[in-house]
């Protein structure tokens, strides 16, 4: 059994430090990528407030395919360059979107989503996955969230 105690009310950098330690504890020594993505999605869901979706898309044969997540059922395949996830995957750049309705081509998987953070996971120079967080609140994500999830993405590279 895993039981992580993380106080959601601490400053964000500390919250992401704790999350990072917990994620490392989960994936360390485990080579199964699906198990690792599933546990990290559950961890993000448990400890990051105000989310309605948290999970992964995987790069498969040149398109993004849905991976482990927590939230409502979502779009299964996303073309590179399409929506927030496809833009992150095509550019290799994090997409921090304060208002998804203002993002050209945003793909609405859950009508509740108002803001979104998508971080590419880059392994050996290629985008292998994206981490996608959605929130029902406008402007939910800040630079501190971006830094925390980018660090997590670097740690997960090659382990998912």
Q: Quick one: which H or E segment has residue 79? A: strand 77-79
Whole-angstrom Cα distance, residue 126 to residue 35?
A: 21
Does 156 interact with ligand SME (rule: CB under 6 A)?
no
Whole-angstrom Cα distance, residue 36 to residue 127?
A: 17
C-alpha torsion sign, points 84, 71, 20, 65 = negative
Interface with ligand SME in residues 70-99 (CB under 6 A) = 74-75, 78, 83-86
**Of residues 6 and 107, the one with the C-beta less far from ligand SME:** 107
Does 113 interact with ligand SME (rule: CB under 6 A)?
yes
The site map against ligand SME for 25-64 (x = CB under 6 A) is ----------------------------x-----------
**Of residues 84 and 131, the one with the C-beta less far from ligand SME:** 84
Question: Residue 96 is encoded by which pair of tokens?
Answer: 């921090």
Whole-angstrom Cα distance, residue 89 to residue 83?
A: 10
**Of residues 6 and 70, the one with the C-beta less far from ligand SME:** 70
Shortest distance, position 24 Cβ to ligand SME, whole Å: 25
115-123 and 126-135 as β-strands: parallel, antiparallel, unpaired? antiparallel
DSSP class of residue 10 equals S
Binding interface with ligand SME (CB under 6 A): 53, 74-75, 78, 83-86, 106-107, 109, 113, 116, 132, 134
């Amino acid at each position: 059994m895993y039981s992580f105690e993380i106080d959601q009310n601490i400053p964000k950098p500390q919250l992401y430090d704790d999350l990072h330690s917990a994620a490392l504890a989960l994936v360390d020594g485990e080579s199964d990528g699906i198990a690792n993505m599933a546990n990290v999605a559950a961890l993000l869901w448990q400890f990051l407030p105000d989310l309605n979706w948290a999970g992964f898309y995987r790069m498969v044969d040149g398109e993004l395919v849905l991976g482990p997540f927590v939230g409502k059922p979502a779009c299964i395949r996303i073309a590179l360059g399409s929506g927030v996830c496809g833009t992150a995957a095509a550019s290799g750049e994090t997409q921090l979107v304060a208002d998804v309705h203002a993002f050209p081509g945003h793909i609405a998987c859950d009508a509740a989503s108002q803001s979104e953070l998508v971080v590419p996971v880059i392994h050996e120079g290629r985008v292998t996955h994206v981490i996608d967080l959605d929130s029902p609140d406008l402007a939910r994500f800040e630079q501190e969230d971006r830094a925390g999830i980018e660090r997590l993405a670097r740690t997960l590279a090659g382990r998912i």
